[in-house]
Structure 1
Amino acid sequence: MGNYIIAGWNKGKHLSEQHKARIGAGNKGKKRTKEQIAKMSLISKGKPVSQQTRDKISNALKGKLVSNKTRLKLSIALTGLIRSEQTRTNISKARKGRPSSKEANAKRSASLIGRIISLEHRAKISAGWQHFRQTPEYDSYICSLRERTLGNTPTAATLLKLKVSHTGLTQSEETKTKRRQLWAEPNFKARVIKAMRLGLLIKPNKPETTLLSILRGINKQWTFVGDGQLIIAGKNPDFWDGGHKLIELFGDYWHRDDNPQKRIELFKKYNYDTLVIWEHELKSPNNVLAKLHQFC
């Protein structure tokens, strides 16, 4: 604070809060010379700042508008600065949940265009996602992402951006191999399918609702699990009795090329008995009811 910091007579001397307030008031609005700023910077370099002081600085800066000139100075000063892991973590925590302005998003997007990401950086991003996929928050993240975009129609400008960004884009053989290896893992595949199905906000459609009402008339234990609640060998059956019986409702259009017997044999490997009912069979409720009684 002006001559108070630079002078040597008060070095290490403990000042009262009243004395500090008087010095602060005296220095308010006072412009320091470049020499004084350089000396203050040198004295403060490497000096640990208490949490109380950090809080004071934070409160003083809250809501304060920073000029473009100051922003430029900060940008130049921070260019090439390597932050410690602790500092990165602190910044990440402070920014979490804070919405970015459209201007900030546009600047960030512009700064990343054409940027080449190093192999080390890619490895860090990949490791971060792999860790995130194993956490319980992953499913809720996929759901919230889908909820935010569900029903949104992309603008012509957005579609053009997507087209331009994907033009000529090819995946390396290494990336393709990694994706195939990940998809081959049953647990990973099940988690992704479940997250996708939940994210789509799937509810029983009309044929499924009709069949569910018939099923519950026979046994109250039957539930609709076609929203991703139950994944077996990468497949998501439609109905489950809570034990070892499954029912698949095959739509006449979507499953027109499917062989029901293959689905029955697949689930049999996991000790599930499966009944497949076709959509057109629901037009004859009595026949369906007889089929269900025989199976249940």
Structure 2
Amino acid sequence: MPNAENAPAQTQVDQAIDWLVKLRFDTPSPRTERQFQQWLASHPQNPQAWQRVSSLSDELAGLPKALSRRTLDASQRQHSSRRDHLKLLALLAVGGSLGWAARAPLGLPQLLADSSTAAGERRQLQGSDGSRIQLNTASAIDLHYSSQQRLLELIRGEVSLDANANDSRPFRIDTRVGTLGTLDGQLLLRENDNGLLVAVRRGEVTLFPASPSARLVQAGETLQVQANGSSQAVSLRSDPWGWTDGVLSVQQMPLGEFAAELARYRPGLLRCADEVANLKVSGTYQLADTGQILQLLTRSLPVRVEYRTRYWVSIDAA
């Protein structure tokens, strides 16, 4: 965890949020890219501020883009200052749907979650009951054990749980979409734009156990659970469990989707040009070195990788 004394000042954080808004909602011009690079180099804390704030990108993508854009446009129509604009975004982050992702970049305590990971980081834990837990990139959880139950709260991101079947207490998992329950399940949960991905490898898992619409999820099933609670089986172009072994394993995945998946494990922005977005990617890639993954793409596909900065990378046609 970064030392608070070496953390970026609020000025750098505000500027980084400003750049995130520009890059998220506007199509950056060459001039904008040059200005962004100049800003990164203009202060020693700017790259760190950008790395921390760029984790907001996935969360902003979860907001309705038109609504977010209208909100920002409204503040401009009222002639509010840029500083007020940033305060508005910060308030949305802390009080609205951005949740956990905004806490650290905006200078709030990172200990609000029992366990968390940064972009590109994965972590293995063991609960006091002997259950094994893994956090994927940019994730956060809380754990609460009592004499009646075991509880894992997914605050953000993705987690795998291998519940200890020798403990008779039910294991409850709370998410933004709803609650799951198990006694001996090995399962994986991932928040995404559509709600929650649920994959079960072993045992039985009950979706919405206290609801009349409770559903039993068997070993081998993978479900997409919508925000409204509906669910359906899905087939994926990637192995959802791959990251637990430190790999990204895909079959015939469009390069645009692959880049979006790989971007989860890197700080900053990773863009894929539209003209190569439909090229297909297959293989198993080691997540420990995302730079090497990008280089491997250039050997198997007619693409080139351009590093504008360490935190701004694009995949273009060769």
Task: Please confirm whether the aligned pair reaches a TM-score higher than 0.5, indicating the same fold.
Answer: no
The structure having more radius of gyration, on CA atoms, is 1
**Length-normalised TM-score, structure 1:** 0.20
Larger fraction in strand: 2
**Length-normalised TM-score, structure 2:** 0.19
